[in-house]
Amino acid sequence: TDLDQFITGLPKAELHLHIEGSLEPELMFALAARNGIEIPYASVEDVRAAYAFSNLQDFLDIYYAGASVLITQADFHDLAMAYFDRAAADGVRHAEIMFDPQTHTDRGIAFATVIEGLLSAMAEAEAKHGLTSALILSFLRHLSEEAAFEVLAMAEPYLDRIAAVGLDSSEVGHPPAKFARVFAAAAAKGLKRVAHAGEEGPPEYVVEALDLLHVDRIDHGNRAMEDAGLVRRLAGAGMTLTVCPLSNLKLCVVGDLADHPLDRMLAEGLRATVNSDDPAYFGGYVADNYRAIAKARGLSRDDLATLARNSFTGSFLPAAAIDRHL
Ligand code: ES4
Ligand code: ZN
């Protein structure tokens, strides 16, 4: 349709994407066969049927299990290339992708295997599609501060190829404060900072991400809407929120997309963006997310263009590159 073409044609950046969450069931089966790994599913349909989640933890259990088929550098390359091909087809011109080293190093995969595979796909995506990208090294927050420091140490030889650190996995019970020191160490190394906050966790976790982690973006941030003072602060600071509508629906952060706060965020002056989070698990890539939220909330083309603009202004691209995209 007309709106589909408008959405695909809008130049967009994707700022909230877990590369492990772009593992489609077909590739999961192919990699399981290639690597001789058993997975607890009989078919692709069987995998998709397992993707019914009632909260974040339900999803995370399945997501970590799925990642067990990723073994070689070629696997990480193929995973990322499949994402970049889909993103390019959706009109994504720049992607800042999170990866979770601990999901792999904790099962004996070398950090170098993971990052070299991702970096080679990033170079190929730029050559093939003109799609630029950046890496966000994410710490799993259900693990210790000490373990996060170990991840930062492993990344040391690659710091010139990493844009930022991030914080993901189980939010409630693992507040940003737990990672204040490792985020300070990352900042001292010149890395930008993002953190998931206010997805399931309370508005106070968003405040901690600002005050203790000194984040450059908030991933999700939905529950900031419960605190009017915090909304004013985020708006005044020009803080970018990386919102993920289909993720919010699938993880029951919202009961119905018709109740999603995205347009209220824009109306309150928040720099919201639209992203896919874990597209293979949540039923859609970035254009699907724009389409779904446009339909559910009756967004105008102006709103959609604002969201796409916000994705570039909230990116970690240099100012001159941002200008070229606007
Ligand atoms: C994640 Cl907290 C969260 N949300 C979505 N995807 C994830 N992958 C790892 N942590
Ligand atoms: Zn996420």
What φ, ψ does residue 205 adopt, rounded to 5°?
-70, -30
Write down the pLDDT at residue 300. 98
Specify the pTM.
0.98
DSSP code of residue 161: G
Q: Confidence band (pLDDT; 50, 70, 90) for 290?
A: very high
Task: Starting from the CA of residue 22, give the closest ligand.
Answer: 1
Query: What separation in Å is there between the alpha carbon of 243 and the centre of ligand 2?
Result: 9
* 151: exposed, middle or buried (Cβ count in 10 Å: 0-12, 13-18, 19+): buried
Q: At what angle do helices 180-188 and 145-155 cross, to 10 degrees?
A: 20
Interface TM-score (ipTM) > 0.90: yes
Residues whose beta carbons lie less than 5 angstroms from ion ligand 2: 277
Q: Confidence band (pLDDT; 50, 70, 90) for 257?
A: very high
| Cα gap 61→311, rounded to integer Å | 29
Residues forming a β-bridge with 164 = 136, 192
Mutate to test the pocket of ligand 1, among 58, 170, 196, 205 (most ligand atoms within 8 A of CB): 196
pLDDT tens-digit profile of 179-209? 999 999 999 999 999 999 999 999 999 999 9
Q: Answer whether 22 contacts ligand 1 (Cβ < 6 A).
A: no
Mean pLDDT of 287-291: 98
Class of domain 2-315: alpha beta
Q: Confidence band (pLDDT; 50, 70, 90) for 167?
A: very high
Residues forming a β-bridge with 96 = 134
Task: Starting from the CA of residue 60, give the closest ligand.
Answer: 1
Q: Confidence band (pLDDT; 50, 70, 90) for 151?
A: very high
Residues 6+ apart with CB under 8 A from 136: 96, 97, 98, 99, 162, 163, 164, 165, 166, 194
Domain boundaries, the chain: 2-315
Write down the pLDDT at residue 90. 98
Query: What separation in Å is there between the alpha carbon of 189 and the centre of ligand 1?
Result: 25
**Max Cα-Cα span within the chain:** 54
pLDDT tens-digit profile of 126-149? 999 999 999 999 999 999 999 999
